[in-house]
Amino acid sequence: MLVNFNDMLLKAKENKYAVPHFNINNLEWTKFILEECNELNIPVILGVSEGAVKYMGGYNTVANIVKGLIEDLNIRIDVCLHLDHGSSLENCINAIDAGFSSVMIDASKLPLEENIKITKQVVDYAHERNITVEAEVGHIEENISSEDSRETNAKLEECIKLYEETKIDAIAPALGSVHGFYKGEANLDFERMKQIDEALPIPLVLHGGSGIPEEKIKQAISCGISKINVNTDLQYVWSKEVRKFLEEQKDVYDPRKIIKSGEKAIKEKIDQVVTLFGTRI
Ligand code: 13P
């Protein structure tokens, strides 16, 4: 069933595990993730970046693919369809109107007051329609060392202010994680994470979930992280298998066989990830 993330994340926060957010890129990706999570009987959040929305054809196409697969594959678990890093009120509205059950508004590069203003506008539109909203404080960077990202880490007072003035449903504080592969080791600010968790009643989100050592993922969950975003890990294992398949099977040209050659790797990675996250219903 397509749902917003409130129930799944509040349960995760209370019981100290994390719900996976897996980014989707196409029909097959979505199908593999839904099938595996359904098999494991765990809730899942399908994250779609604006780039992926454009690639797949648009908001309606994405929403219809997800709804169609839920029905045709008889998916019984809770599925949240979530816009990842929405960059404007307009894009969040487009996603909501097309049938997404959740959005992230990422105005984190703007000064706090402006971040709050845009986030509040998104919340007003979303909450009237029972859609959940995630927002970012500080700024999560791309492919830089965790040490360098410290400059843009979230401050406790900023998180409190943004929550109190917008009443978002989940918060993604930048605390040292980065998108893509890490240069050096992930250096997360667990102390700040814990302070934010204690100060706010809403779940915390960890972006850049690929490539963080297992112990640090567990520690992050114990510090209040209830949703962990994973993209690069699935892309990496899939592309590795597809490359191998194409090298070994020089005569194959059926795209279905080529794309499917990475299915097992994606599904195995999902198993690993959700075991580490301790994901339950
Ligand atoms: P990774 O690509 O590092 O797993 O990050 C995914 C993410 O945070 C999407 O919002």
Lookup result for tokens 């250096």: 187
| Closest to 88 measured CA to CA, from 65, 66, 114, 113 | 114
pLDDT of residue 71: 98
Provide the mean pLDDT of the chain.
96
3-7, 52-56, 182-186, 270-274: which has the minimum mean pLDDT? Answer: 182-186
From the CA of 230, give the closest atom in ligand 1: 4
Tokens in use for 31? 């199908």
* Total-model pTM: 0.96
Express each pLDDT in 168-208 by its tens digit: 999 999 999 999 988 888 999 999 999 999 999 999 999 99
Give catalytic residue positions.
Answer: 84
**pLDDT at 146 > cutoff 80:** no
CB 229 near ligand 1, within 6 Å: yes
| Closest to 66 measured CA to CA, from 56, 81, 45 | 81
Q: Which amino acid appears at position 169 of this protein?
A: D
pLDDT of residue 143: 65
Q: Which percentage of the chain shows pLDDT scores above 90? A: 93
Neighbours of 52 (CB within 10 A): 18
Torsion of CA 237, 240, 241, 244, to 10 degrees: -170
pLDDT of residue 145: 66
Over residues 65-83, mean pLDDT: 98
Q: Which of 207, 212, 239 to mutate to test the pocket of ligand 1 (most atoms within 8 A of CB)?
A: 207
Euclidean distance between CA atoms 86 and 118, whole angstroms? 11
Banded pLDDT at 148 (limits 50, 70, 90):
low
Over residues 67-94, mean pLDDT: 98
**pLDDT at 75 > cutoff 70:** yes
pLDDT of residue 141: 78
CB 82 near ligand 1, within 6 Å: no
Banded pLDDT at 268 (limits 50, 70, 90):
very high
Tokens in use for 250? 């020089």
Cα(180) to ligand 1 centroid in Å equals 6
Q: Which of 134, 232, 266 to mutate to test the pocket of ligand 1 (most atoms within 8 A of CB)?
A: 232
From the CA of 177, give the closest atom in ligand 1: 3
**pLDDT at 78 > cutoff 70:** yes
From the CA of 232, give the closest atom in ligand 1: 2
pLDDT of residue 149: 62
**pLDDT at 276 > cutoff 90:** yes
CB 227 near ligand 1, within 6 Å: no
Euclidean distance between CA atoms 219 and 215, whole angstroms? 6
β partners of residue 229:
21
Banded pLDDT at 36 (limits 50, 70, 90):
very high
pLDDT of residue 181: 87
As a whole number of Å, the end-to-end CA separation of the chain is 13
Alpha carbon nearest to ligand 1 atom 9, residue: 229
Tokens in use for 253? 């040209």
Banded pLDDT at 140 (limits 50, 70, 90):
confident
pLDDT of residue 147: 64
Over residues 260-264, mean pLDDT: 98
65-69, 143-147, 199-203: which has the minimum mean pLDDT? Answer: 143-147
CB 49 near ligand 1, within 6 Å: no
